[in-house]
Amino acid sequence: MIPALLELFERLTSAGRVSADDVLALRAKIYGADSLAPDAMEALGALEAAPGERAPEWSDLLAEAMVDFAVHQEDPQDYVDDAKAAFVMRVFAGDVRAESGLECLVRILEAATEVPPALSSFVLQKATTAMCAKGRIAAADVALMRRLVFSGGGDGNLAVTRNEGDTLFAIHDAARGAFNDPAWSDFFAEAVGAAVLAASPYVPEAREAALRDEAWLDHKDTLGEFASRMAAKPDLKGAIRDILHPGEDVLDEWQAADAKFAVDEAAAGKITDDDARWLVGHLSRSRLTEPERRLLAFLKAEASEVSDLLKPLLDAAELQAPLAPALAGAPPQPAPAPARQETAPGPGEPAPVFGLRRTPAA
């Protein structure tokens, strides 16, 4: 690291504050070099972990620099290999702020086409810690978690995994009873529901395959290679097939994968005994919360088949009833009797006092 940049990092760490002007100075020095240096990225992570105030501009600098370094700077581009994942996890091993450190990690998953499972799990753990520490879910938190769960480089690519479902339940439990943003309930229900019911055709690509693909895209034919192809005997059958049935070769290539995904998707639409046990292990043991009720309503509407272990709960007329009796096979709790309608006081009766009901006549 250049001495001037090292001195700047040391000064800002000691000051306990990073202003907008400080961010500009850091950006100029970090991006003034030919490439982003690993020690500069480590210093950024250390400054993120240090206590003190941060200007809003800090979040963008941290995320942009780390994405450029970990995702775009080395070959294959857009692919985070094991070495880069280990570097990122080491840099963010300490506490991270939701609005900066966690934002940075989510952007890495969004920018990358492939990341090692260890990095995805690491980001989920950091999200759990950061969100649970807040104890309340704001609109910005919902938006950030939505990006994390559905990021292309996330735990299951665009699909939602059990690990991500565990994270959402942990955050839900930490924020129980708080004044959470209204969007949280719907997002929780849809995301956890997708972890139970959705299938994904996603298969992680090995680093060697990614390098081969990138080399093929970057390759430019030499004059000899071009002449050799021109002199080759034409594939008349292939040419005629392309004319009569355009795109059929592409269809053949994907047909087997599409057929397999259709089978997987049909199987995923069923709530199995294992799914039911996982859900019950997370749901409230007394009255269900609003996000949990919406989750059960989502599953009841979308599932093609439901495990017998979960049917009593999904079929219960009152989803706010205590959970344990429904799961034990007991009949659903009866709905509460409708409240007595107030009537005007009769002759000689006292008027009702605010907050108290009149004693009904015998």
Note whether residue 102 is domain-resident: yes
pLDDT digits (tens, 9 = 90+) for 282-315: 998 878 999 999 999 999 988 888 899 988 888 7
Using alpha carbons, select from 47, 7, 13 the residue that is nearest to residue 29. Answer: 7
| pLDDT tens column, 92-116 | 998 888 899 999 999 999 999 888 9
Residue at a domain's end among 172, 197, 222: 197
What's the pLDDT score for residue 233? 58
C-alpha span between 45 and 316 (Å, rounded): 50
Quote the tokens at residue 66.
């780390």
Clarify whether residues 170 and 276 are in a common domain. Answer: no
User: Within this chain, do residues 25 and 149 fall inside the same structural domain, yes or no?
Assistant: yes
Q: How confident is the model at residue 152 (pLDDT cuts 50, 70, 90)?
A: low
252-287 burial: b if 16+ Cβ within 10 Å, else e:
eeeeeeeeebeeeeeebeebbeebbebbeebbeeee
DSSP H helices in the chain: 3-15, 20-30, 38-49, 57-67, 82-91, 103-111, 117-134, 139-149, 162-174, 183-197, 207-218, 223-231, 236-244, 248-268, 273-282, 290-302, 311-314, 323-327
Higher-scoring residue by pLDDT: 327, 224: 224
Dihedral, CA atoms, 9, 15, 21, 22, nearest 10 degrees?
Answer: 10
Across the range 166-170, mean pLDDT stands at 95
Query: Are residues 304 and 171 part of one domain?
Result: no
Per-residue model confidence (pLDDT) at position 238: 57
Using the 3D structure, point to which of 197, 222, 244 is the last residue of a domain.
197
Q: Could you tell me the two tokens for 282?
A: 């997370």
Percent of the chain whose pLDDT exceeds 90: 46
Looking at the predicted structure, is the pLDDT value of residue 57 above 70? yes
Residue 135 placed within a domain: yes
- 154 and 35 in a common domain: yes
Residue range 42-63: mean pLDDT, rounded: 93
Considering the domain architecture, whether residues 181 and 93 belong to the same structural domain is answered as: yes
Give me the mean pLDDT over the 153-166 stretch. Answer: 73
The 10s digit of each residue's pLDDT in 203-215 is 444 445 444 544 4
The reply to whether 287 and 159 lie within a common domain is no
Whether the per-residue pLDDT at 33 is higher than 60: the answer is yes
The last residue of a domain, from among 166, 197, 228:
197
Q: Residue 151 — pLDDT band, cuts 50, 70, 90?
A: confident
The residue-averaged pLDDT of 189-208 equals 66
Range of the domain at 305: 270-327
Q: Is residue 10 part of a domain?
A: no
C-alpha to C-alpha distance for 153 and 122, rounded to whole angstroms = 13
Q: Is there a domain that residue 343 lies in?
A: no
Give 9-29 pLDDT, tens digit per residue: 999 999 989 999 999 999 999
Whole-number Å distance between alpha carbons of 110 and 107: 5
Residue 150 inside a domain? The answer is yes
pLDDT band at 127 (very low <50, low <70, confident <90, very high): very high
Residue by residue, what is the 3-state secondary structure of 174-186? HCCCCCCCCHHHH
Q: Which pLDDT does position 234 carry in this prediction? A: 59
The pLDDT of residue 316:
73
If asked whether residues 37 and 177 sit together in one domain, one would say yes
Buried b (16+ CB within 10 A) or exposed e, 48-64: bbbeeebeebbbebbbb
**C-beta of residue 248 within 8 angstroms of C-beta of residue 241:** yes
Tell me the mean pLDDT in the region 354-358. Answer: 39
> DSSP characters for 284-351?
-SSSPPHHHHHHHHHHHHH-SEE-TTTHHHHT-S-TTS-HHHHHTTPPPPPPPPPPPPP----TTPPP
* Judgement on whether residues 107 and 189 belong to the same structural domain of the protein: yes
For residues 130 and 248, which has the higher predicted lDDT (pLDDT)? 130
Condensed to tens digits (0 to 9), the pLDDT of residues 213-226 reads 444 445 565 666 65
Would residue 335 count as lying in a domain? no
Who has greater pLDDT, 120 or 263?
120
Alpha-carbon distance of 72 to 76, in angstroms, equals 8
Q: Is 76 helix (H, G, I), strand (E, B) or coil?
A: coil
Could you tell me if 172 and 281 lie in one domain?
A: no
Flag whether 204 is in a domain. Answer: no
Domain assignment present for 345 = no
Mean model confidence pLDDT for the chain: 77
pLDDT given at position 94: 85
- At a CB cut-off of 8 Å and minimum separation 6, what does 198 contact? 159, 160, 265, 268
Lowest mean pLDDT across 42-46, 180-184, 326-330: 326-330
State pLDDT tens for residues 230-277. 555 555 565 555 665 565 655 555 555 455 444 444 445 789 999 999
pLDDT of 178 reads: 93
Asked if 26 and 168 sit in the same domain, the reply is: yes
Total count of domains within the chain: 2
